[in-house]
Amino acid sequence: MAPEDVAKIVSLDEPPLGAAEFDAIVTLAYVAMMADGVACETELAVFGAIVARVRALATRAVKQSEYRSSAAIAQPRALEDDETDDLLSRLDATVAARGATELVSDAASALSPTARRLAYKIAYAMVIVDLADTRDEQSMLSDLAQALEIDSDAAADLAEEVLARLSA
């Protein structure tokens, strides 16, 4: 999976996201990326593309509430290197201080049912970026599905949807 593939997973046709949902989805994407303990350059690039797409959904929500018009829809803007570095540093520090389990629980509780499904698809996509599916990553996905209140059949369906979109 490459950064340009993120558009196949995170459609701008998704419902707008609030600020808390944006933060939660970005946090979950980070936890998924770091589930195996390392982040390769491709994972970092895909993470940046995910943040840009999800930020566009959150920005759209703000614009729609301000202007009450769907014509004012934000388009994704790539993150600058310093933005990515700042975000990663903040997330690193938060995970170190609070732990991934607590962050996943808090993030899950901030999401609507629709946003939970999107968050799971994004987390799954982050796990498969490096093509090395580890036991730690599978455990994280299982824990995440439980925290998001997504049963195993629905989680499998979401994973299949991601794979189908990537192969299209």
Which of 2, 91, 90, 92 lies closest to 46 in space, CA to CA?
2
- Percent of the chain, pLDDT > 70? 87
Q: In this predicted model, what pLDDT tens digit does every residue of 45-94 receive, in sequence order?
A: 999 999 999 999 988 654 444 444 444 444 455 556 677 788 888 998 99
Q: Is the dihedral of CA 60, 66, 71, 72 positive or negative?
A: negative
- pLDDT at residue 83 in the model: 77
Helix (H) or strand (E) holding 48: helix 41-67
Least confident residue range of 11-25, 71-85, 92-106, 137-151: 71-85
Q: In this predicted model, what pLDDT tens digit does every residue of 123-133 receive, in sequence order?
A: 999 999 987 77
- pLDDT at residue 69 in the model: 43
Given a cut of 80, is residue 16 above it in pLDDT?
A: yes
Please tell me the chain's helix, strand, coil percentages from 3-state DSSP, rounded to the nearest 5: 75, 0, 25
Residues 6 or more apart from 103 whose CB is under 8 A from it? 27, 31, 94, 95
What is the residue extent of each domain of the chain?
3-167
